[in-house]
Homo-oligomer: A and B are copies of this chain.
Amino acid sequence: MTMIKATNITWHEGHVTRETREKLLNQKGALLWFTGLSGSGKSTIAYTLEHALVQRGHLAYVLDGDNIRHGLNKNLGFSAEDRTENIRRIGEVGKLFVDTGVVTMTSFISPYRADRDGARAIMGEGNFFEIFCDTPIEVCEQRDPKGLYKKARAGQLKGFTGIDDPYEAPLKPEMVIDNSKCTPQEAAVRLIELLEKSGKIPALKG
């Protein structure tokens, strides 16, 4: 360590630790892995939570199809192999975000248990929260926000999760949310409580 008087900085050459960044941010890195059928509320709840966290002064970020499928994973298709690689890369990016101290949400159908378990395995204990959006498929299909169920039913879309491709429900999710029985706001309140109880963000006083 040397001191440069002009700037009063103590110099180091090793990595800054995750703990140092977390102290700076007054929060701890966490990965909330949303999984569930298309239309089950994953992204809506994730964005609602993101806004609530930022309003409380916390740094949060959502990884979803918009910023992943058109960027990092734009060279992947929808074969079984590519789907697995898609989820693997998202898990690895999530790990980097958590190391940075960010409360990170991933919003992908992620239908296969083995792929999600792979993401959980690389994260380390206490960093991974599997959030199962268990909204009945009838409700999801009625919403059909992207018109995908309609196409799948018409046979214009093959291998669509819940129609002609399986969704493997989580066995031990950290939280189950049925978005047909609660609003995104109510779900976000529960998730904030989960983050508080896990020591990821401090509880509000008063």
A133–chain B nearest beta-carbon distance, Å: 15
The 19 sampled A-B contact pairs (Cβ below 8 Å) are A6-B189, A7-B189, A9-B51, A11-B48, A12-B48, A13-B48, A14-B51, A15-B62, A16-B50, A63-B96, A67-B96, A67-B99, A71-B96, A72-B89, A72-B96, A75-B85, A93-B96, A97-B100, A100-B102
Q: Collect the chain B residues with CB atoms within 8 Å of residue A92's CB.
A: 71-72
Interface residues of A (CB under 8 A from B): 2, 4, 6-7, 9-16, 20-21, 24-25, 44, 47-48, 50-52, 54-57, 59-63, 67, 71-72, 75, 85, 89, 92-93, 95-97, 99-102, 122, 184-185, 188-189, 192, 204
Closest to A53 in B: B16
Q: Collect the chain B residues with CB atoms within 8 Å of residue A75's CB.
A: 85
Which one of B50, B95, B101, B204 lies within 8 Å of A71 (CB-CB)? B95
Closest to A62 in B: B15
The distance in angstroms between the C-alpha atoms of A95 and B96, with both chains bound, is 13
Q: Collect the chain B residues with CB atoms within 8 Å of residue A6's CB.
A: 189
Which one of B7, B15, B54, B85 lies within 8 Å of A50 (CB-CB)? B15
A100 touches B59 (CB 8 A): yes
A48–chain B nearest beta-carbon distance, Å: 6
A108–chain B nearest beta-carbon distance, Å: 15
Q: Collect the chain B residues with CB atoms within 8 Å of residue A85's CB.
A: 75
B24 touches A57 (CB 8 A): yes
The distance in angstroms between the C-alpha atoms of A14 and B46, with both chains bound, is 9
A123–chain B nearest beta-carbon distance, Å: 11
B72 touches A93 (CB 8 A): yes
Q: Collect the chain B residues with CB atoms within 8 Å of residue A10's CB.
A: 51, 55
The distance in angstroms between the C-alpha atoms of A100 and B67, with both chains bound, is 12
Q: Collect the chain B residues with CB atoms within 8 Å of residue A4's CB.
A: 185, 189
Given contacts A61-B99, A96-B97, 17 further A-B contacts (CB under 8 A): A2-B185, A4-B189, A7-B52, A9-B52, A11-B51, A11-B184, A11-B185, A12-B51, A13-B48, A20-B54, A21-B54, A21-B59, A24-B59, A59-B100, A71-B92, A71-B95, A97-B100
